[in-house]
């Protein structure tokens, strides 16, 4: 990261993290030694806040407790939409019913989902992600959710807009074949898959996503990018 920054290239961190504010997320990465600030992070919650403001939407929130501060500035009285994130233990029957009743009570239900992940791994095992609960509400209310986060095109476009560059000028580096590589390519960017983290060997035979290049780690991606300047 330091070499990228020293080269004068613009940099942006795109995450689907919705279990914590950007502040917490950044602190965690700083603790791991990364030179990163809140302003460099594109995350679903702040992207959703922009959409809410633009469209005059007042959300009923079904999100993780630690994410609530991201919506501090948003008017939440008399809700006219539902925002769902990875609420984890907040996904109780009572809370899901409440979100459902808000939605079904609208003339035209608006459901905004912070990502569409199926599940993820934690130390104590696999956990259902926001996408599963999004599908439950979609079915119950016969509505299609608007997804904010990777791999949504709009999410990558807002990251590009924040940097002030075109898709052709940008390159995505990520470990997730669909959310990182596929999403960025659909937006017109080139994308490199890193063979760490979520990477699985079977990704290299993915039926419809083919990265522009593979690297074994982030440093190798930086080498390639700096060589081509």
Residues that bind a copy of itself (CB under 8 A): 88-93, 96-97, 100-101, 104, 118-119, 125-129, 131-133, 135-142
Asked whether the CA dihedral 44, 50, 55, 57 is positive or negative, the reply is positive
The smaller minimum CB distance to a copy of itself, of residues 12 and 135, is found at 135
Q: What is the widest separation between alpha-carbon atoms in the chain?
A: 57
Task: Give DSSP secondary structure letters for 124-163.
Answer: TEEEE-HHHHHHHHHHHHT--PEEESTT-HHHHHHHHHHH
SS3 category, 60: strand
The smaller minimum CB distance to a copy of itself, of residues 29 and 88, is found at 88
In the chain, % helix, strand, coil (3-state, to 5) comes to 45, 15, 40
Asked whether the CA dihedral 174, 179, 182, 184 is positive or negative, the reply is negative
The smaller minimum CB distance to a copy of itself, of residues 62 and 221, is found at 62
Minimum CB distance to a copy of itself, residue 66 (Å) = 16
The smaller minimum CB distance to a copy of itself, of residues 107 and 142, is found at 142
Minimum CB distance to a copy of itself, residue 121 (Å) = 11
The smaller minimum CB distance to a copy of itself, of residues 52 and 96, is found at 96
Minimum CB distance to a copy of itself, residue 227 (Å) = 40
Minimum CB distance to a copy of itself, residue 100 (Å) = 5
Helices and strands of the chain, counted as H and E runs: 8, 11
The smaller minimum CB distance to a copy of itself, of residues 53 and 118, is found at 118
SS3 category, 72: coil
Minimum CB distance to a copy of itself, residue 111 (Å) = 13
Minimum CB distance to a copy of itself, residue 29 (Å) = 27
How far is residue 41's CA from residue 79's CA, in Å, rounded to a whole number?
28
């Amino acid at each position: 990261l330091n070499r990228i920054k020293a080269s004068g290239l613009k940099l942006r961190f795109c995450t689907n993290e919705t279990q914590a504010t950007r502040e917490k997320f950044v602190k965690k990465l700083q603790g791991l030694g990364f030179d990163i600030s809140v302003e460099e992070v594109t995350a679903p919650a702040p992207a959703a806040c922009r959409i809410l403001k633009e469209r005059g939407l007042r959300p009923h929130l079904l999100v993780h407790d630690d994410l609530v501060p991201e919506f501090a500035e948003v008017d939440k009285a008399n809700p006219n939409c539902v925002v769902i994130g990875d609420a984890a233990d907040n996904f109780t029957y009572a809370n899901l019913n409440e979100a459902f009743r808000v939605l079904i009570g609208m003339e035209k239900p608006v459901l905004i989902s912070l990502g569409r992940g199926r599940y993820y791994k934690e130390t104590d095992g696999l956990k259902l992600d926001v996408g599963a609960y999004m599908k439950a509400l979609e079915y119950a209310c016969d509505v299609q959710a608007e997804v904010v986060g990777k791999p949504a095109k709009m999410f990558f476009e807002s990251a590009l807009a924040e940097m002030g560059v075109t898709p052709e000028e940008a390159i995505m580096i990520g470990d997730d074949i669909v959310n990182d590589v596929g999403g960025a390519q659909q937006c017109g960017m080139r994308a490199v898959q890193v063979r760490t983290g979520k990477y699985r060997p079977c990704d290299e035979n993915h039926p419809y996503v083919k990265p522009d290049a593979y690297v074994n780690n982030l440093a190798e991606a930086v080498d390639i990018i700096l060589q081509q300047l």
